[in-house]
Every structure is written in C-alpha cells, then in structure tokens.
Structure 1
Amino acid sequence: MDIRNWIGLFVLGTINNLPYVIVTSAASTIADSFGKKNLIGLVFGANVALSAIVKTINGAFLLNVPYGARFIANAVLMLIGLFGVAYAPSFWFSLVCIVFVGASAAFGENVALGYLRLFPSKMVNAWSSGTGMAGVLGSLLYITFGCVVGAGGDNQDKLRHLIQYAFLLTSPAVALYLVSYFFIIKCPKTVPAVPQVQEEKEPMLGDSSTIQDEEEFPSVDVKESSFRRIFRCLKLVLWMALNLSAVYLFEYIAQGCAAKVRPKSEYNVGCPELYAGLSLCYQAGVFVSRSSVQMFQIRKVHILSILQFINMMLWLIDVHYKFLPVSILPSLMIYVGLLGGASYVNIFYLLLHDDKYPDKDRELCINITALFITFGIIGGTAVETLLFSTALKND
C-alpha cells in the first residue's frame, strides 16, 4: 500500500507541476517568439497571476468539496492552458493561457497538500519529489525539443514550433494525472463523499455521534467563527509561511538573473542555450532536496532562508559585474535549487507531522502556508522586473 501510494503521489506531483515548469523553462523563447524579449518578466508574472486567488478559494470555500471533483477541475484548467499556449496567435493571448497553466499548478498543489493529511506525514516526500521531478523533466523536454527543432536562433517560426511541440506533447500526461488519483492511490482514511453542514449544539457527555462527527469533519469547529479560525491558524504557521515566502522570493530573483547573466556572444547559443541549461541545473537541485526528507529533516528552516538571500545577492552582483566564471554558474544554480527544495519539503513535513498543528486545522494550516509561496513568487517577479527595467537594464 505504501509503495503504491508513494508512486501515485509522485506521479501526481510530477504532472501537476510539469506545465508550469515548461512555461518557466520556455519563458525566454515564448517572449522571443513574439518579438517581446524585454517582456520576459510578464511570462513569469502570468504564471502566478491567479495563484493567490485559486489558493484562497480552495482554502476558504472548497475544503468540504470531494478531492476527486477538485482534481478533475484542475485537470481541465491544465488542458486549457496547454492547448491555449500551443496555439496562441499573439503574445497577449499566450499570457492569458499561461495564467491558466499557473492557476492549475497552484490549485493542484493546495488540493494535494491538503489531501496528504490523510496519509502518513512522510508521504509528503512522494509528492514533493514528484514536483521536483517535474522540474527536471520539464527542463529536459524543453531542451530536447529545442535541439530537435533547432531553436536558439532568432527565427520566430522555429521558436513557435518549439512551443507547440513542448505544450502539445505534454497534454496526454493530464490523463495519467487523473489515473494516478482515481486508480493508483488508495486513501488510508475515509473521506465523506458529500459535505454536510453541522448544526450548532452543545455536545452531550458520552454522545458518540458528536465524536463521530468530529472525526468525519475535522475542519469544522462549531464554537469558532471561520474568521477567528483562519486568524488563529495564520498565527500558528506565520513563521513557517514567512520563511517559505522569503525563500521563493530570493530564488526567483536568482533564476531571473540567469536570463541576463551573460550576453549571448559569450556562450554557445545552440543546443541548449545558457538560460535553459541553468534552469535545468536549478530543477535538478530542487528534485534532490525535495526528495530528502525521509533521510533527514531540517527544523531550523530560517537558515535556508538566510543562505538563499546570500545566493540572490551573489547572482545580482554578477549580473552587473560579470565576475563569476561561466563554468561555475551551473553549480551555483544547483545550490539555489537545493535550498529552495529543502525549505519546501521540510516546512510541509513539519506542518503534517508536528503536534503543534491540530489535526482538525492541519489542512487549513497547509493551505495558508502554501498561499505564501505565491506571495514570494509574485514578490520575486516584481523585484526582478523592476531591477531589470532600471538599475540592471543595460547589463
């Protein structure tokens, strides 16, 4: 059962994040294919534009909706994004479709992390390892398609063909996404198929129905308003959430620097280009660290945030001064991925494992924390766009 569920959750994580990663890896190509090279930041921004909204909707309104219905809805979002980007007639239409891709990844992440509360806490390693594999697989697919199509030059038709191949050939994976949830994973706990509303009443001593209700609906507390419950859970997870947001902010700025870290005249523009290669290095680091929680756990997650901040500063300085040899940039980008992935998997492991977070509030705590990922990504994208439009514009 554990092996079967591990495989299913791994596949679920891989496919959930795969379209998102392909957008990230292809951001430069997408912008170039429409002659909008200086608007690469908008591609990253579109990828997270609705993330906070869909995560809030899931956490505030959909926790009693069956998981199956939410996974099906997410598969539909994923397909809209994939086909839309593949056949986008303009840059702006492409951005709208990328919004669907990003919304799918964000919504699916929150649904899956909440679903994990029904499994042993170390099963978070299966999901997180899958999301890490999505990064490696997405980057490799993009680089492979780039080599086959011959992208890397300035021919916009070739670039558009690359985008079509990458996104259309990813779309069949959505079927595997649903197969994983409905046929591979076997949930160890019973989830009520139809949500019910409890009436407010005082529990009677020895009333077994009250105990049963609390077990079936762990997220409902009749003595506490929804707002007070959300605020209480926010205070519980704030330290973890802020650290996760900070790590994402710092690593997204560092990743953005990879697009400007060297002019094309200083490296081979062919197969692959430097940006795609560094993106693969980053994703490899994420995969390794997101697969590590079963071997060791890190409780002092703020250390990872501090190290990632130092990383970000190093990359920003190098964009301007170009003092680092190109040969060590891949290793540094792997390090960026290692820190980001370690922060992610250890924080969610603690949320699923630590007794500090009540079982009845665990899914809400996870949803609140995951929402801060979006805040970090949006912040990183905004800072990156601002810097590349002002202080680092000509670097």
Structure 2
Amino acid sequence: MAVSKKKIILIRNMASFWIFGLCNNYAYFTMLSAAVDIIGKQQHKEKNDTENYCLKVIIESHCSSISTGAVLLADIIPMLLITIICPFFIQKIPFGIRHGIVCTLQVVCYLIVAYSTSTAMSLTGVVFASMGTGLGAITYIPLSSHFPRSMLSIWSSGTGGAGIIGSLAYAGLTEPHFANLSPETTCLIMLIVPVIFAVTYWFLMVIPDTVHQVRLFEPRTWLVTDPDLSTASSTEEIHPHVTSEVDWSVEDTKAGKLEPTDSSESGFVKQRKLSFKEQLLLIMLMTKYTLPPAIVFAAEYLINQGLTELIYFDCSHGFYLSTNSQYRWYQVLYQLGGFFSRSSINIYKLPFWATILLPMLQIINAVFFTFGAVYFFVPHIWIIFILILYEGLLGGSSYANSYDKIHHEVAPDVREFCLSAAGMSDVVGVVVAGFAAIPLHNFVCNQQKYHIH
C-alpha cells in the first residue's frame, strides 16, 4: 500500500527536527568533551604517560593549573548573551537566514580549533561554537511552533543525541585503544556535521506556508515585516476558528495569569507583536517553568566541568583508562543519560511537582561528587559511571519537561517568543556553574594534597 504524501511530509519533518537538535548541539558538546585537550595546550604539554596510559598507583594529585570550567565559560557566555538579547528582535530575522548563520559559525568553530596554536585560539573557536548553538536554540525551538507539537519532543531527543554521539565520537576517535587520532584531526572530521545541518533545512524539511520564505535576489524578503506579525490582542481576530489558550490582555498579564482557558490543536496561529514591557512580563510569568531547570543545569555542569576531572582512578580500579580517557568517558555516560531522558518525553511526562524535585536531587549529586573528589572514598570507577548516567537522566528530564510544559500551556499567539526566551534559564544555570567551577576546582586541588596517600 502506497504511503500518503502527508505521511511522507510528516516523516521528513520529524527527521529534520531530530537532525536539527543533533547538529545544533553537536559542536557545543564536542567542545566540552575536548576540554581536557584544550586545557592541555594552556600548559604546553606534550603527550605523556598520564594522558596515554593509566596510573599504576595514585600517590599525588593530578590537577591542571586551570579548570575545564574555563572552557565551559567560553562555551556558554556567548550563548547567554544571544539568548538574553536576541529574543527581543529575532522574530524580524527569517528562519532561513538564521540557519545559514548557524551553519557558518559551526564551520568556523571547527576550523579554528583544528588549526589553533594556543589555548587562546582554541577558546576563540569554542566561542564560535557557543554562538552557533545559542542562535540555533532560539531558531529551531520557535520554528517547531509552525509544526505539530511532537516536533518539539523530537528536537529535544536530537539534542540528547548530540550529546551522546558527539562525546562518543570524540572519545572514540581520540582514544589510544581505538582510532587514536589527534584532537586536531578529529575536529576536521567533524566538519561533516554543519554540511548535514545545511542540507537538512533546505532539502529535507518541507517548509510550511506559515514560515516566512527568503528569496536570495529579493532583498525585501530578507527581513520579516510587521504585516507578518499580529498586533491584535486576541488571536480570534486573525483566526476565528482558533481560540487562544490564554487571554494575554494587559490586565491578565499584570494579574499573573498563565493558565489556559481553552485549548486548540487546529493549526499555527500568527504571532502577536509584543511590546518590550509585555515581553518582560511573559519572562517573569514563565519563572515557574524556567527556574527548576536553571538550578538543575547549574548543579550538573558544576559536577561535569568542576569536579569530574578531579575524580580519577588507578589501573586496577579504572578499567585501565588514562586520566584523560576517564574524563571523556564520563562525558559520554552523562550524555547517554541525557539522551534517554530527553527522548522519553512522548512516553512519560513528569507532573509539575516532580520537576520541582529534580533540582534538589541534582544538588545532592553535586555534594556527593565534591566529597568524592576531596576524599577519594569511591572504590571503583564503575560507581562514578552509574552516578554520572543518573546525573544525565535528571538533567535531560528537566530540560525536556520544561519546554514541553511551556509549549502546551502558553498561548499559541505568544508561543514562539516564550520558547525563545525560555532558553535563558538553562544557559544562566550553566554560566553560574562555569564561574563556580574555577574556585571549586582550586579548592579541591588544594585539599587533595592532604587526602591522597
């Protein structure tokens, strides 16, 4: 039996959004997996036994002079600036132009890191990766509002896939027991990712009529004009058959109402043209959705970039992995947990009370890893592997459920802005973790001298 044209379009768009999530976050996660190699350039180190082989016995602290939190900051601060500033005007820029910029930034990122001659140059490449990921997040998540709701969960799954595939690819290609390629060669191989990214948007995805189309030789199409946005106070004036989920009148916004009064699935609703004051009020109203993931991300990135590099094992207790390899495989398992939980949103959605519980569980994890890094009481690396997998599950669940609730519970005519602005929450959490990771790294390193025997 022949597959209908409608079903083919749906499959193509589902595949497109999964690839969007994968490719958009791929460079970001690859840079985090490469953090120990980038920091190695800071110390002008040649490859040594600590990097290539496991430690037969641990008799001293193996601390780098600078935390991998420095890489995290380079990987997140540009993203923070983009997610804070751009949502207020990004609707004027067509999705196609944004996509081209994202792909270009990724190409520049890989080339700079591959050919860098210093840590400063490498960190510049990381900044370009961060800019591309941040711009992508406020592009493809709002783009999903033009498609069925399932596209957002598919994007979320793709971002989880970026973590596991990116970290696994980097670990496998650089692992001495496997491909044993240099970090530079590995980055050049990664250039295939932005190529796939570009092809997906312009050739695989079926772009709906509601998305503004850019025509290369018609400059007037290079910006989204005001007639493409609604200035109405109710979506009923634009699409009578669609009732807005929330009455976003000024009075209701001031009163702090965010609960839907009616729900409809029938098509895309033209987006409201919001004033700056209305945008700020919407951001404040979304705090109950965005604060929990911000705390979760702060705790988990404090673990990943401030503590896990300081938890290492000797040959007999570390599966005969070098200290650098142990760090890379920590990243792989963290991303594996994130992938599973981000992909499960269509199977099971957490109730609101559970999303409040996730930050507390992640903070407990951070406390455990801090004591583990100082006192070295964990007997074998497999325990750390399991805990890092669990940490990834918590982080992915918080991310996926946060965006899912925003997509389902805010008004259709402001959904695109809300989904763009929600990206601030996890980025702010990661920035806090990046700044906290550096002094925490120094504190733990100082304490390890008294507890390693």
Under a length normalisation based on structure 1, what TM-score does the superposition of the two structures give?
0.88
Q: CA deviation at 1:313?
A: 1.2
Shift of the 208–373 alpha-carbon distance from structure 1 to 2, 3 Å rule, reads: closer
- Partners of 1:270 and 1:321 lie apart in 2 by 20
Could you list the per-position Cα deviations for residues 180-212 of structure 1 after superposition, in whole angstroms to 9, with x for gaps in the alignment?
1122222445123342225999979xx977979
Could you list the per-position Cα deviations for residues 100-126 of structure 1 after superposition, in whole angstroms to 9, with x for gaps in the alignment?
111111111121111111122222121
Cα RMSD after superposing both structures: 2.8
* CA contact 2:144–2:151 (8 Å) conserved in 1: yes
* CA contact 2:175–2:325 (8 Å) conserved in 1: no
Give 1:293's match in structure 2, choosing from 331, 345, 350. Answer: 345
Mapped pair 1:4 → 2:12: yes
Mapped pair 1:38 → 2:65: yes
Q: CA deviation at 1:394?
A: 4.0
- Partners of 2:12 and 2:308 lie apart in 1 by 38
Shift of the 264–106 alpha-carbon distance from structure 1 to 2, 3 Å rule, reads: farther
What letter corresponds to residue 85 of structure 1 in structure 2? V
- The residue number in structure 2 matching 1:155 is none
* CA contact 2:230–2:271 (8 Å) conserved in 1: no
* CA contact 2:289–2:405 (8 Å) conserved in 1: no
Q: CA deviation at 1:294?
A: 0.7
Give 1:252's match in structure 2, choosing from 301, 309, 315. Answer: 301
* CA contact 1:250–1:309 (8 Å) conserved in 2: yes
- The residue number in structure 1 matching 2:400 is 345
- The residue number in structure 1 matching 2:204 is 184
Could you list the per-position Cα deviations for residues 339-380 of structure 1 after superposition, in whole angstroms to 9, with x for gaps in the alignment?
0001111111111112xx111211211122101211100101
Mapped pair 1:308 → 2:362: yes
- Partners of 1:295 and 1:269 lie apart in 2 by 36
Equivalent runs, 1:1-395 vs 2, <5 Å: 1-35=9-43, 37-39=64-66, 40-147=68-175, 162-188=182-208, 190-193=210-213, 194=221, 195-197=224-226, 217-221=270-274, 226-256=275-305, 257-262=307-312, 267=318, 268-270=320-322, 273-300=325-352, 301-325=355-379, 326-354=381-409, 357-390=410-443, 392-395=445-448
* Identity rate, percent: 25
**Structure with more of its chain in helix, by fraction:** 1
Contiguous gaps of at least 5 residues in structure 2? 1-8, 45-63, 214-220, 245-267, 449-453
Shift of the 18–84 alpha-carbon distance from structure 1 to 2, 3 Å rule, reads: same
Q: CA deviation at 1:150?
A: 8.0
What letter corresponds to residue 384 of structure 1 in structure 2? A
- How many residue pairs match? The answer is 378
Could you list the per-position Cα deviations for residues 134-177 of structure 1 after superposition, in whole angstroms to 9, with x for gaps in the alignment?
111111111222235989xxxxxx9xx62212211011221110
What letter corresponds to residue 273 of structure 1 in structure 2? S
Under a length normalisation based on structure 2, what TM-score does the superposition of the two structures give?
0.77
* CA contact 1:126–1:291 (8 Å) conserved in 2: yes
- The residue number in structure 1 matching 2:260 is none
